[in-house]
Amino acid sequence: MNKSYNQIAGKNKGRIEAISDGVFAVALTLLVLDIKVPVSEAIKTEGQLFASFCLITPKLLTYFLSFMTLGIFWTGHTTQFNYFEKSDRNLNWICLFFLMLISLLPFTTALLSEYIHFKVALGFYWLNILLLGLTLLLQWNYAYKRNLTSIPQNEQEAINKAMRRRIIISQILYAFGASLCFVNIYLSIGVIIIIQLNFAIPIINRRI
């Protein structure tokens, strides 16, 4: 009997989960390195320190935004893997490409925060989120069709639908939000943030 390496590779679901949590944990803390303590000889009073602290508020907001986005995709990732029973080398590599896009998120978020008034910056940020959504959808479809999942028979269709619907609806909302930049860029960013907040703290989307 012959075996090919590709038949036996990437089968450990637990290891994929472990490296994913590691990459997410590092990505979640990478942006903090961008928030520097204001160092200046000119800071001599309480008021001056407070004022210089206010100057880094945009960085704190960016950090908050990035943390929320990473949290949304991490939750999506864990929810899918909760239904996965086993893995194969293709699922292994889909997940690795997903993690590559995750590692880039602190970069595209920083780009957006630095050039918040430019459509190009927003475009790259949106592209990153779009690719993350597509990879997550590909991962689910692949695992579901190859029977790598473990779902009770009578729930299969409902869970498949819920999983796909969530990704597709959120990507349509993100695309709508991003396209608003041709009207007004701050409106566009504001709408995207509201969409994300809504996914983190569910208010409207109870049924989605």
Pairwise CA distance, residues 80 & 74, whole Å:
10
Chosen residue from 65, 84, 91, 99 binding its own copies by CB under 8 A:
99
Footprint of its own copies on 102-121 (CB under 8 A): 103-104, 106-107, 110-111, 114-115, 118-121
Residue 117 has a CB neighbour count (10 Å cut-off) of 9
11 is a contact residue toward its own copies (CB under 8 A) = yes
Pick the binder of its own copies from 162, 168, 175, 194 (CB under 8 A): 162
Structure tokens at 177: 């939000």
> What minimum distance in Å lies between the beta carbon of 50 and its own copies?
5
CB of 127 to its own copies, least distance (A): 11
Residues 6+ apart with CB under 8 A from 118: 185
* Residue recorded with tokens 């949304």: 72
Q: How far is the CB of 149 from its own copies (least distance, A)?
A: 12
If binding is defined by CB under 8 A, does position 76 make contact with its own copies?
yes
Residues in binding contact with its own copies, number by CB under 8 A: 83
Residue 201 sits at the vertex; the CA angle it makes with 19 and 155, to the nearest 5 degrees, is: 70
For residues 68 and 54, give the distance between their C-alpha atoms in angstroms, rounded to a whole number: 22
Q: Which of residues 188-207 bind its own copies (CB under 8 A)?
A: 200-202, 205-207
Instruction: Pick out residues in 20-49 that bind its own copies (CB under 8 A).
Output: 21-30, 32-33, 35, 37, 39, 43, 46, 49
- The DSSP annotation for 133-193 comes to HHHHHHHHHHHHHTT-B---GGGHHHHHHHHHHHHHHHHHHHHHHHHGGGT-HHHHHHHHH
**Using rule CB under 8 A, residue 96 touches its own copies:** yes
Q: If binding is defined by CB under 8 A, does position 3 make contact with its own copies?
A: yes
The CA distances from residue 119 to 128, 177, 185, in Å, are: 14, 12, 7
Q: Whose Cβ is closer to its own copies: residue 99's or residue 192's?
A: 99
Taking CB under 8 A as the rule, does residue 153 contact its own copies? Answer: no
